[in-house]
Structure 1
Amino acid sequence: MARPAGRRAEILETFTRHVAEFGYERTNLGNIAKELGMSKGTIVHHFGTKAQMMRELEANLMNRQLDAVRSVWERLDKPQERIAAFVFACAVLQVVARDATVASQREVVQLADDPGMQEVRKLRHELQHMIEVELRRGIDDGVFRPVDVGAVTLQMWGSVQWMWVWFQPGRGHTPEEIGSTFVDILLGGLLVDRFGLNVLSDPNGEVATVVSETFAADSAR
């Protein structure tokens, strides 16, 4: 995914960091302008409103997550591998896109009814649909137990969305280790045969490695 460049990108990155640290309501464009040594009018010129900046923050993160999951899934075919990869990707995002992830997840209901967030909701629904498809495929293949696919998808989504509250990168656990615990619990409850679960949840295994390599290649671009 191409990254925005220049002054506009610098403004959005600073805004993202402020939202992650202080929350959307307490983020002040005047403070951002002061930090960057520019006028508030310059920020307004680039984005118009604080709400528009939040929309772009959300859209950029969702697109990055979708791009990563699609790339990983091109290398992994089995439904259990793909679900595990999604979970690992959510954990790795906590590090490689820390500010954006925290800002988005702590403000998950912010602008929820805003018509301008329609594109973000569409992207989120697309990713959730991808998960649902893999869950159904796993059930049809006899890999997963019959479950309420919609409910399990939301349960999975909700659990990884709250990771930012307690996971502090660099303090004891790698994102792969955190992802491993989630995979073990989430897939452990889905798999008909738990033999091989340790391979799927291995923080140094193939699935985790594919995810890490994908994000490393993305960051290098």
Structure 2
Amino acid sequence: MAGRPGRRDLILETFIRHVAERGYDQTNLGDIANELGMSKGTIVHHFGTKAQMLRELEDNYMSQRKRELEVIFERLQSPAERLAAMIYAAIFYQVEYRDATIASQREFVQLAGDPEMLKIREHRSDVQRMMQQEIRSGIDSGVFRDVDEGLATLQIFGSLQWMWTWFNPKGRRTPDEVGAAFVDLTLGGLLIDRFTLTALSDPTGRVPKIVHECMHEAASASQG
């Protein structure tokens, strides 16, 4: 059984929730200290600055996303399945890691000129490259239409990155159904033969099931 989070983890967790709810600029270390019943100096002792907390948020969040996708890609081989899995996963993050997802996505432009943050955000670039490579692979294998894979990646990735502005985990449609709708629209525009689209966009199908399993597997591995 996992133990209670340490003081440092609790501070970072609270910071992430405040950023998700208020935004980075409106997040105040004094408010976090008051909520946790500690001094502001304790937070500074553990992290130094608010900017360092944002760096850790982004590093931890995107590193975990990369690990999950690596596990998913071991289970799924075709470009269409892998691309569908990346879409489902992006929706599931909005539920499983909601505060961190919102905080990361809404504050992507923060510290844009910070060399440390630029290095950390290579994780995000790696994930985009993984998507672009699968689109390219699908084109080369004759599964996808001959589109500009770079532009297609930006369109898909960009639309998923803004989900935090409208997605409601308790809405009328389940996360699996929302993911299926995205897959249907996205893959429907890429696939030359849409015969496999029904299976890919089935919210109870193989792909979302594998994504759920791999996310839980990656989470357990990181905690172990």
CA distance in 2, matches of 1:71, 1:219: 11
| Residues 180 and 201, structure 1, Cα contact 8 Å, conserved in 2 | yes
Number of equivalenced pairs: 219
Unaligned runs of 5+ in 1: none
Is 1:52 the counterpart of 2:52 in the alignment? Answer: yes
Q: Specify the alignment match of 2:23 in structure 1.
A: 23
Q: Shift of residue 196 of structure 1? A: 1.4
TM-score scaled by length of structure 1: 0.95
Q: CA RMSD in A?
A: 1.5
Q: Assess if the C-alpha contact under 8 Å between 1:16 and 1:100 holds in 2.
A: yes
Instruction: Give the distance between the partners of 1:168 and 1:15, measured in 2 at CA.
Output: 22
For 1:139, the aligned partner's letter is: I
Whether 1:136 and 2:136 are equivalent positions in the alignment is yes
Superposition deviation, residue 201 in structure 1: 1.0
Query: Deviations 1:141-187 (Å, cap 9, x if unpaired)?
Result: 00000111111111111000011111111222221111111111111
1:59-115: per-residue Cα shift (whole Å, max 9, x none)? 111011111111111000000000000000000000010000011111121112211
12-21 vs 108-117, which deviates more?
A: 108-117
Question: In structure 1, how many angstroms separate the alpha carbons of the residues matched to 2:193 and 2:141?
Answer: 12
User: What secondary structure, in the 3-state scheme, does the structure 2 residue paired with 1:167 have?
Assistant: coil
Contact 1:59 1:119 in 2 (8 A): no
Residue equivalent to 2:186: 186
Identical aligned residues as a percent:
57
Structure 1 stretches of at least 4 aligned residues deviating more than 3 Å after TM superposition: 218-221
**In the alignment, residue 132 of structure 1 is paired with which amino acid?**
Q
Q: Does the 8 Å contact 2:67/2:218 carry over to 1?
A: no
Secondary structure of 2:204's partner? Answer: coil
Residue 199 of structure 1: how far off its partner (Å): 0.4
Q: What CA distance in whole angstroms lies between the structure 1 residues aligned with 2:181 and 2:140? A: 26
